[in-house]
Amino acid sequence: MNKVLKKPLTLDQEISLGIYKKLYQIRRVEERIAESYPEQEMRCPVHFSIGQEACAVGVSEYLNEKDHVYSTHRCHGHYLAKGGNLPAMIAELYGKIDGCASGKGGSMHLIDVEVGMMGASAIVGGSIPLALGSALTYQLQKKKNVAVAFFGDGASEQGVFYESLQFASLRKLPVIFVCENNMYATYSSIEDRQPLDNIFERAKFSNMPGFRTDGNNILDILNISKEAIERARNGEGPTLIECRTYRWLDHVGPNEDIDVGYRTRDELNSWIKNCPLKNYENYLIKERKFEENKLKNIRNSIEQNIADAFEFAKNSPFPSKKDLYEGVY
């Protein structure tokens, strides 16, 4: 049910550069985390989205602070794309009291309610029914807001995925289901797990629009997500979006995993050549005629912000014993 889209987007200079800032920030923040992780000061598992940044940024671009996003264990990009506080995120990874979850959540449980980043669940498919609940609340309260559930291809095999699509379509809820299909659930390829590689087409069984996007082409994602969000705000119901992308690093941790044997070096390299950040940078320079110096200045500013965030995190205190039972229910 891959409907014909409206005409391609026209992005003004401010929006175009804002998208670049988010893409570059997510990439460099995660690279810095990967560089620092072996120091063993971050005492939590980390799941990187390097190579997948366009999915988070493209979907979040047309959301506002009152719209709710629910994420997965691989949540750094979603948090930052939604406008989450960077120093608080880094402090959280270091387990510090100034972290976005007071040092108790770690990498897999980032949250910033003020900007609508409602949290992340390490349970496969856990984001889906939570977004459904926000969408139902919006509808009952007659609010023109939208909820988004990010999840991976592995979550599309969970019963809650199908149940939620059915209920959302039946009630015409303002929710966007975004499947980041990076081709693997841990170390199992989608070909070994699913008889048909057609996640987006499963929308038709719930009578809702379904789209497959090039998850490394942010312009494609922007075009599709804008229409889906407009539909939801106008009371026309949910949409399923499948973003086909690829993670460059191991399922968990800062290293490569070619030696594990479930994917090849050639496969990884082919996706690295299709880098979403580089694709968009080339678009800005070659088609939009942006000057390289302008982009360089943006990059330099972001690098300083990242350095400041890490300094803030390292200088932040750990939670005290009296904080042990705070936030426990």
Band (pLDDT 50/70/90 cuts) for residue 9 is confident
Using one digit for the tens of pLDDT, what is the confidence trace for 131-182?
999 999 999 999 999 999 999 999 999 999 999 999 999 999 999 999 999 9
pLDDT category at 328 given cuts 50, 70, 90 is confident
The structure tokens listed for 167 are: 């209920």
Q: Is residue 329 part of a domain?
A: no
Average pLDDT of span 52-63: 98
CB-CB neighbours of 171 under 10 Å: 16
Strands 117-120 and 188-189: unpaired
Within-domain flag for 242: yes
Sheet of 147-152, strand order: 117-120, 68-71, 147-152, 175-181, 239-244, 210-214
- What are the CA-CA distances from residue 13 to residues 136, 208, 294 (Å)? 36, 34, 12
- Domain contains 251: no
Q: Are 23 and 57 in contact (CB under 8 A)?
A: yes
24-39 average pLDDT score? 98
In a domain, 114, yes or no: yes
Residue 60 covered by a domain? yes
For position 324, what pLDDT does the model report?
85
At 136, which helix (H) or strand (E)? helix 127-140
Q: Stretch 80-108: mean pLDDT, rounded?
A: 97
The confidence score (pLDDT) of residue 2 equals 41
If you search the block for the tokens 């350095």, which residue do you land on? 307
Report the predicted TM-score, pTM, of the whole model to 2 decimal places.
0.94
Distance CA 19, CA 297 (A): 15
For all residues of the chain together, what is the average pLDDT? 95
pLDDT digits (tens, 9 = 90+) for 255-297: 999 999 999 999 999 999 999 999 999 999 999 999 999 999 9
pLDDT at 6 > cutoff 70: no
How far, in Å, CA of 151 to CA of 199, rounded?
12
Q: How far apart, in whole angstroms, are the C-alpha atoms of residue 50 and residue 27?
A: 6
**What pLDDT score does 8 carry?**
58
Residue 2 is assigned to a structural domain of this protein? no
- Number of structural domains the chain divides into: 1
Look up the domain containing 240 and give its range.
Answer: 13-246+257-323
Please state, in angstroms and as integers, the Cα–Cα distance from residue 239 to each residue in 3, 23, 171, 215, following that order.
Answer: 11, 24, 13, 16
Whole-number percent of the chain with pLDDT over 90: 93
The 3-state DSSP class for residue 213 equals: strand
CATH assignment of the domain containing 265: 3.40.50.970
pLDDT of amino acid 323: 87
- Nearby residues of 35 by Cβ (< 8 Å), 6 or more positions away: 254
Asked if residue 3 is part of any domain, the answer here is no
In the predicted structure, residue 1 carries a pLDDT above the cut 80: no
Please state the rounded mean pLDDT for residues 114-133: 97
Pairing of strands 175-181, 147-152: parallel
Contact present, 47 and 108 (Cβ < 8 Å): yes
Per residue in 177-229, pLDDT tens? Answer: 999 999 999 999 999 999 988 999 999 999 999 999 999 999 999 999 999 99
Query: First CA to last CA across the chain, in angstroms?
Result: 43
For 272-277, the CB contacts below 8 A with 24+ separation are 272/51, 272/248, 274/216, 275/51, 275/216, 276/23, 276/51, 276/52, 276/53, 276/54, 276/215, 276/216, 276/217, 276/218, 276/245, 277/23, 277/24, 277/27, 277/53, 277/54
Query: So what's the pLDDT on residue 10?
Result: 79
Q: Is the pLDDT of residue 4 over 60?
A: no
Q: Which CA distances in Å does 4 have to 59, 211, 241?
A: 19, 10, 14
